[in-house]
């Protein structure tokens, strides 16, 4: 399942949210799509382009170049410049940037190219054509290939945004349906991210050369404490000092997680709860872009 606009959907845990520009661009005038993540773009070597910067996958290990190039050979065009990104979809359709990074380290057959816009086709510049027309041309040349076409959803913005957030996506990207391919930032492509909150258990904290470096959190599943990520934003000097003071009496020698993690930390008895704000969760349940909002002493 994918969507239209700046980034594909792929029911990603890293998706990003976007709204159409105000009132006049609501409704059918806009094409909306849940976004997967701000993953690296695919580009030049095999005819794929990342919007303004034209950075390509030639910066990645050979596995990415080779895999995407293999898909590119099947595209029904003598030449094309496509705007897209590479992802590694999980069984539930979500994508995770950390999983992609791991896949790029070896020989992977799981990498998928998701295409959402077409800039040039057979030497013809399509950038001034309406988005809806460019996507129509793109869909035609991708038929029969392994490249994933990013479908569009034409739906009321608030409804799409609420649904994307409910699914745990990072958000939604909106584009003006009849808009041309823009240069640089523009109000024709609008991004809005979901913000989620969850009460998580503090499993430990980290110090970097004696200075506060955040907390490790976990999610209780029955009697098991499952690693949910590291939170290093949302602290000022006072809150960091206060939290460290609260955690020191709880220090223990071993990790409280049911399954050990590779990170080094100062582990504590899992007794304190923290309110964590974040944009999305990875396929493994780790919070993305987490922010500490305070201790939950009412639970």
Q: Which residue, among 212, 159, 198, has the nearest Cα to 291 in the 3D structure?
A: 198
Left (φ > 0), alpha (ψ -120 to 50) or beta: where does 53 sit? alpha
Structure tokens at 113: 């190219």
pLDDT at res. 207: 92
The count of residues in the chain is 299
Give per-10-residue mean pLDDT for the chain (299 aa). Answer: 34 25 31 36 34 34 54 82 83 66 67 88 94 94 89 82 78 86 81 85 94 95 94 91 95 95 95 91 87 83
Left (φ > 0), alpha (ψ -120 to 50) or beta: where does 197 sit? beta
- Per-domain boundaries in the chain: 23-193, 196-295
> 23-193 belongs to which CATH class?
alpha beta
d(CA 299, CA 296): 6
Answer yes or no: same fold for 23-193 and 196-295.
no
What is the reported pTM? 0.57
Q: Which long-range contacts (CB under 8 A, 24 or more apart) does 137-144 make?
A: 138/82, 140/76, 141/75, 141/76, 141/77, 141/80, 142/75, 142/76, 142/115, 143/76, 144/74, 144/76
3-state SS class at 254: coil
203 touches 217 (CB < 8 A): yes
Q: Quickly name the fold that domain 196-295 has.
A: OB fold (Dihydrolipoamide Acetyltransferase, E2P) (2.40.50)
pLDDT at res. 109: 67
């Amino acid at each position: 399942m994918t969507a239209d606009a700046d980034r594909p959907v792929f029911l990603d845990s890293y998706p990003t949210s976007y709204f159409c520009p105000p009132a006049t661009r609501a409704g059918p005038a806009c094409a909306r799509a849940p976004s997967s993540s701000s993953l690296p773009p695919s580009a030049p070597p095999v005819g794929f382009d990342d919007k303004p910067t034209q950075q390509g996958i030639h910066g990645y290990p050979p596995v990415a170049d080779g895999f995407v190039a293999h898909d590119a050979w099947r595209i029904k065009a003598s030449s094309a410049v496509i705007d897209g990104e590479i992802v590694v979809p999980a069984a539930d359709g979500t994508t995770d940037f950390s999983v992609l990074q791991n896949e790029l380290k070896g020989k992977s057959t799981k990498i998928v190219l998701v295409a959402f816009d077409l800039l040039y086709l057979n030497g013809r510049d399509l950038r001034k054509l309406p988005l809806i027309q460019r996507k129509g041309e793109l869909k035609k040349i991708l038929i029969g290939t392994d490249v994933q076409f990013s479908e569009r959803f034409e739906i009321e913005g608030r409804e799409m945004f609420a649904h994307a957030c409910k699914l745990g996506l990072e958000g939604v990207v909106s584009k003006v349906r009849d808009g041309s391919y823009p240069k640089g930032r523009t109000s024709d492509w609008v991004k809005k991210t979901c913000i989620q909150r969850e009460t998580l258990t503090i499993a430990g904290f980290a110090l970097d050369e004696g200075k506060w470096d955040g907390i490790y959190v976990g999610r209780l599943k029955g009697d098991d404490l499952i690693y949910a990520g590291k939170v290093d934003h949302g602290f000022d000097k006072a809150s960091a000092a206060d939290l460290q003071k609260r955690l020191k009496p709880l220090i223990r020698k071993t990790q409280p997680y049911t399954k050990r993690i590779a990170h080094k930390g100062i582990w504590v008895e899992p007794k304190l709860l923290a309110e964590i704000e974040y944009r999305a969760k990875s396929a493994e349940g780790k919070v993305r872009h987490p922010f500490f909002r305070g201790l939950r002493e009412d639970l």
